[in-house]
Amino acid sequence: MEAFSDGVFAIAITLLILTVTPPTHGELAHELLRLWPSYVAYAVSFLTIGIIWVNHHSIFRLFAGVDRTMLFLNVFFLMVVAFIPFPTEVVADNVRDPGSRKAAALLYGCNMILLAIGFVVLWTYGSGRLLREDSDRREVAGITRSFIPGIPVYTFGTLLAFVSPIASLIVFAALAGFYVLSSSLFARRIV
């Protein structure tokens, strides 16, 4: 299961670079600078997928095994992960257009909400049925606490797009930073 998951993560994270399209006309230096939305969207989504991958390994190493239900929950979760390059490209292509940036931020936010829900479902199911008996209860509690802000903050960030799409996208980037910090606080050495 983890090998399949790693493959999906690797493909999704690799596809992100396809959202950065090289310029075909104009002065190259100027056109490369105009691609800044693509660079930012790529970096935030790459970091987000990287965090998801690290946290995915962190939780699954605490499980004694997986059952059929967990396999299907993981497949649906990975489907949402594999979708990330699409809203990333939509944001990069539309962030400068005041008429389109709200829809782009909403699309990205909805994908992030689904990711947060997917992680909570994976963790809730797995920690309730599949935990190894020797799992460190403090680590389990720390992981559980770290997932608490995801759904409400992604929902807030998504709804914020109705008022300010740029602020919405900043919230998504800040949440990625939060998860880098929080995952390093509860993580132990992954073998």
The DSSP code sequence of 39-84 is HHHHHHHHHHHHHHHHHHHHHHTTBS---HHHHHHHHHHHHHHHHT
Q: Average pLDDT of 128-154?
A: 90
Alpha carbon distance 36, 38 (integer Å) = 5
Query: What confidence category does residue 131 fall into, taking pLDDT thresholds of 50, 70 and 90?
Result: very high
Query: What confidence category does residue 103 fall into, taking pLDDT thresholds of 50, 70 and 90?
Result: very high
Alpha carbon distance 52, 115 (integer Å) = 9
Q: Find out whether 138 and 6 touch, Cβ atoms under 8 Å.
A: no
Characterize 66-79 residue by residue with b for buried, 16 or more Cβ atoms within 10 angstroms of its Cβ, and e for exposed.
beeebeebbeebbe
What tokens does 103 get?
A: 């829809």
Burial class (CB in 10 A: 0-12, 13-18, 19+), 28: exposed
Q: Average pLDDT of 150-174?
A: 93
pLDDT greater than 80 at residue 113: yes
- What's the whole-number average pLDDT of the chain? 90
Query: What confidence category does residue 148 fall into, taking pLDDT thresholds of 50, 70 and 90?
Result: confident
